[in-house]
Amino acid sequence: MSNPCQFDGYKTDHFFDEMFAQGESLNPRTHYEKIYQRIDRLTEKEILERRQQADSSFLEHGITFTVYGDEGGTERIFPFDLIPRVIPESEWKIIESGLRQRMLALNLFLNDIYHGRKIIKDGVIPEEIVNSSKNYRPEMVDFEPPQGVYAHICGTDLIRDEDGKYLVLEDNARCPSGASYLLENREIMKRAFPQTFGGMSVRPVEAYPDLLLRTLEYLSPRKSQKPVCVLLTPGVYNSAYFEHTFLARQMGIEIVEGKDLIAIDSCIYMRTTRGLVQVDVIYRRLDDDYLDPLVFRQESMLGVSGLMDAYLKGNVALANAVGTGVADDKVTYAYVPEMIKYYLDQDPILDNVPTYLCWRDADRSHVLANLQSLVVKAANESGGYGMLIGSHSTAKEREEFARLIEKHPREYIAQPIVSLSRHPTFCEGGISGRHVDLRPFILHGEDIEIVPGGLTRVALREGSLVVNSSQGGGSKDTWVLKDF
């Protein structure tokens, strides 16, 4: 009996498909050729085996995230799809330079906002945008962060529109997560398709933990000795806890909770079995709000009393700096192209998705009149929470959002619904197209470093545009090819 081919009956519909060029018959793009061949001739049994292997490998290794709101903090695996996303080097070069440019501009912006505010004085960005941002931290005004950098680690989400053009959807300049999946996905794929992987000259990503550690060490206030870096986690019940332990282990640094640290005379120490050890750099995976109950949320049990004091006196470095959230605010986002022009005198290499700012009267009326065809997002939320996708919403949800927008216009932005590119993905009943985005991780230490590729997230529900893990998203390995 001859095997049916896996891609039989696959349709690209009217979307931009990552693997297939538009056309009557299936026509794989050149950079996908080899992996297409390989997957097309897999038998059902082989697919099942590989999927089970991958799933149980994630579960056994405890590569799980915790779902909030679920009873007893259920641990789930982040669904993984075996068909990798492939990016040719020529495309990656453009993405890379675009991200580099954006990272520079965001850091210059943060520096400007907390010193002198030239960009506001020159009328490029309205002052109220900055002042009203929930994540603006007045404590940071006139403070010099170590090495002058604010956002050291940034995860910028990219999407592709109907024509395959890369657009920036948002910047995550606070505590972006996902790097551990990027690394683990790669390990799984190398095991699942060793020959194909080997034959395609995929650029490695394993350097990420080393680069991250170098980025952290660069910030140490004490140059006389090897810096003591730690990763500060909110604890075992945090949804990204696996990632925290994973990265700490890969970097060989301690993973600490707030209660492991203590501030004495404006220095931070960790409590060890041999007494106190001074800490130089904290890679914190904790939002500003929870860092220090003396300065931010008083009820926070996760942070360290006196941490801000030590930070502002320059005795400990934080990555990312406090107050970077003002740069990834979704309203500020709309101004990034202007920032790039203003600070770097360049045209943005990667465009934004057009954005309506609800606090502008004209924009707001447009948004309210066209809710059905827009995506509305809360300016300060992340993880796919607080979001309305007009075309997939009920009248009741739209009314609810209209009310929210009228009440808090500063809190909402809207964007046209970009029909994200699709990627062949294993689904119930065979391979079919699912929407994807891409989150590369940008590190800003002495230089800006980006490991090739990033985390490709895929919306597993048919037609869904939401790729977040908390909302039914999965992930794929991302292969950036060498010299294609």
Partner 1 sequence: MLSRVADNLYWMSRYIERAEGMARMIQVHQNLALEYAQGDEQLAWFWKPVLQSICAEEFPAGPNEIKNLVKELVFSSGYENSIYSCISLARENARMVRDQLSEELWLELNNIYLFFRNGEADEVYQQGSDLLLDRITRFSLVFQGLADATIPHGEGWRFLSLGKYLERADQTSRMLDTLNLRDKEPTRADLMSVLRCCIALSAFRQQFRGNLSLQNVACFLLFSEDFPRSIRFCIRSIDHSLHAISGVPAGAFSNEAERLTGSTLAMVNFTDWSQVQAKGLHQTLDEFQSTLIEIGQRVFETYVLLPSEIKSLGERNIAQSAQAQQQQ
Of the residues 1, 14, 45, 60, which one makes contact with partner 1 according to CB under 8 A: 60
Judged by CB under 8 A, the number of residues near partner 1 is 33
Shortest Å, Cβ 83 to partner 1: 27
Nearest to partner 1 of 173, 295 (CB atom): 295
Q: Is 132 in the site for partner 1 (CB under 8 A)?
A: no
Which has the closest alpha carbon to 408: 420, 419, 400? 400
Residue 456 CA: distances (Å) to CA of 210, 270, 283, 450, 465: 21, 36, 24, 15, 13
Per-residue DSSP letter, 79: -
| Window 15-54: contact mask with partner 1 (x via CB under 8 A) | ----------------------------------------
In the list 110, 149, 263, 336, the residue contacting partner 1 (rule: CB under 8 A) is: 263
Beta strands in 94-235 (DSSP E): 153-160, 166-172, 229-232
Backbone angles phi, psi at 117, to 5 degrees: 60, 50
- Kindly write out the interface string for residues 285-314 of this chain, putting x where it contacts partner 1 by CB under 8 A and - elsewhere: ---------xx---------xx--x-----
Select the span of 247-255, 278-286, 445-453, 461-469 touching partner 1 (CB under 8 A).
247-255
Cα 323 to Cα 309: distance, rounded to the nearest angstrom = 15
Question: Could you say which of 2, 195, 273, 394 contacts partner 1 (CB under 8 A)?
Answer: 273
Does position 120 interact with partner 1 (CB under 8 A)? The reply is no
Is residue 141 involved in binding partner 1 (CB under 8 A)?
no
40: Cβ contacts below 8 Å, ≥ 6 apart: 5, 6, 7
Q: Which stretch binds partner 1 (CB under 8 A): 127-135, 201-209, 259-267, 371-379?
A: 259-267
271 binds partner 1 (CB under 8 A): yes
Judged on CB neighbours under 10 Å (0-12, 13-18, 19+), 237 is: exposed
Q: State the sign of the Cα–Cα–Cα–Cα dihedral 341, 345, 350, 351.
A: positive
- Find the binder of partner 1 among 121, 165, 249, 403 (CB under 8 A): 249
Q: How far is the CB of 284 from partner 1 (least distance, A)?
A: 16
Quick one: which of 61, 118, 121, 408 contacts partner 1 (CB under 8 A)? 61
Looking only at Cα atoms, what is the longest distance across the chain? 77
Q: How far apart are CA 151 and CA 211, in angstroms?
A: 15
Out of 21, 270, 368, 387, the only residue in the binding site for partner 1 (CB under 8 A) is 270
Is 62 one of the binding residues for partner 1 (CB under 8 A)?
A: yes
Backbone torsion region of residue 235, taken as left when φ is above 0, otherwise alpha when ψ lies between -120 and 50, otherwise beta: left
Nearest CA among 470, 459, 464, 406 for reference residue 398: 406
254 near partner 1 (CB under 8 A): yes
Indicate the residue among 256 and 450 with the shorter CB distance to partner 1.
256
- Residue 174 is given by DSSP the state S
Q: Which of 21, 262, 349, 368 forms a contact with partner 1 (CB under 8 A)?
A: 262
In the chain, what is the straight-line distance between the N-terminal and C-terminal CA atoms, in Å? 37
- Find the shortest distance in angstroms from Cβ 51 to partner 1: 17
Residues 6+ apart with CB under 8 A from 96: 450, 452
For partner 1, the closer of residues 19 and 248 by Cβ is 248
User: Which strand ranges, in their side-by-side order, compose the sheet holding 229-232?
Assistant: 254-256, 229-232, 281-284, 317-319
For residue 55 the two structure tokens come to 């799933």
Over the window 206 to 245, marking each residue x when it contacts partner 1 by CB under 8 A and - when it does not, the resulting string is -----------------------------xx----x---x
- Residues of the shown chain interacting with partner 1 in the complex, contacts defined by CB under 8 A: 59-62, 235-236, 241, 245-246, 248-249, 254-257, 259-260, 262-265, 270-276, 294-295, 305-306, 309
